[in-house]
C-alpha cells in the first residue's frame, strides 16, 4: 500500500508489518512531511515539534530515536521517545506518540560498540538472556528477569563482552549480545537539551 501525497518525494512503501515491540526507530525530521503523513494515523499534534524544559507540556520528538511499544490494529506505531521522563529523567516530559509507520526508520542495532553513558535496551527473551549469562558474563540471577525489555545506561564496559548496565538504582552485568543500543550518550544529551 502506498501513501497518497501531493509531492512525489513523500510517496513511500507502507512499513506497517516491519515493526514489532522493542524495535529501535528513528523518527522523521521534516515537520511538513510529518504533518501530512500523520493524517488518519493518530493526527498531528504541535507538541511533537516544540520543546521547552520550562513548560513540560511540549517536547520535540521529530528527528529523534524511540522504542516501539506496539503496533495498533490499523497499523499505527506507538513509539516511546528517548527524551521522555521514562528514559531521560525527571526534567523531561513523558513522550509517546502514535506515528504513521512511514515516518519511522528502523535503526540497525547489529553493529554495536558500547561506551559509558550509552542508552541500551535489555532484550525481552528470558531463555536467550539466561543462556547468554554464562559464568564468563556475570551469571544469571533470577532477579535479572525484571530487567528484560527495560532500558538502562551503560556504566562500564568490562572485558570479554561484558557490559555493566544501571537499570533504575540497580546495576547488572550483561553479555553484550543481550543488549541493543538505543542511543549513544551524545544523542541522549542532545535529545534532553534540544531547544534549550
Q: What is the second-level CATH architecture of the domain 8-107?
A: Roll (2.30)
Rounded to an integer, what distance in angstroms lies between the CA atom of residue 142 and that of residue 92?
32
Rounded to an integer, what distance in angstroms lies between the CA atom of residue 53 and that of residue 62?
16
Helix (H, G, I), strand (E, B) or coil at 39: coil
Rounded to an integer, what distance in angstroms lies between the CA atom of residue 79 and that of residue 25?
8
Rounded to an integer, what distance in angstroms lies between the CA atom of residue 157 and that of residue 155?
7
Give yes or no for a contact between 26 and 107, defined as CB atoms under 8 angstroms apart. yes
Q: What is the DSSP letter of 83?
A: T
Written as tens digits, the pLDDT of the chain (196 aa) is: 223 334 434 434 455 458 888 888 988 888 889 889 988 887 887 777 765 444 444 456 777 888 888 898 888 998 888 765 454 444 444 577 889 999 999 987 776 789 999 989 999 899 999 999 976 777 899 999 999 988 899 999 998 889 999 998 889 999 999 998 888 887 777 766 654 4
For residue 49, which phi and psi values (nearest 5 degrees)? -125, 15
* pTM, full prediction: 0.68
Q: Give residue-wise pLDDT tens across range 156-183.
A: 999 888 999 999 888 999 999 999 888 8
Domain ranges of the chain: 8-107, 119-186
CA terminus-to-terminus distance, the chain: 40
Amino acid at each position: 500500500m502506498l501513501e497518497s501525497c501531493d509531492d512525489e518525494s513523500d510517496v513511500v512503501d507502507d512499513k506497517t508489518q516491519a515493526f514489532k515491540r522493542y524495535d529501535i526507530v528513528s523518527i522523521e525530521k521534516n515537520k511538513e512531511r510529518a504533518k501530512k503523513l500523520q493524517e488518519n494515523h493518530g493526527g498531528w499534534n504541535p507538541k511533537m515539534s516544540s520543546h521547552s524544559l520550562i513548560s513540560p507540556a511540549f517536547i520535540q520528538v521529530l528527528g529523534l530515536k524511540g522504542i516501539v511499544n506496539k503496533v495498533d490494529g490499523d497499523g499505527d506505531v506507538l513509539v516511546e521517545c528517548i527524551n521522555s521522563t521514562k528514559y531521560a529523567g525527571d526534567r523531561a516530559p513523558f513522550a509517546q506518540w502514535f506515528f504513521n509507520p512511514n515516518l519511522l526508520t528502523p535503526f540497525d542495532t547489529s553493529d554495536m560498540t558500547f561506551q559509558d553513558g550509552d542508552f541500551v535496551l535489555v532484550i525481552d527473551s528470558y531463555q536467550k538472556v539466561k543462556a547468554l549469562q554464562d559464568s564468563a558474563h556475570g551469571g544469571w540471577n533470577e532477579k535479572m528477569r525484571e530487567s528484560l525489555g527495560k532500558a538502562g545506561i551503560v556504566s562500564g564496559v568490562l572485558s570479554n563482552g561484558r557490559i555493566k548496565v544501571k537499570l533504575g538504582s540497580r546495576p547488572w552485568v550483561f553479555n553484550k549480545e543481550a543488549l541493543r543500543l538505543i542511543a549513544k550518550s551524545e544523542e541522549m544529551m542532545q535529545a534532553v537539551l534540544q531547544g534549550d
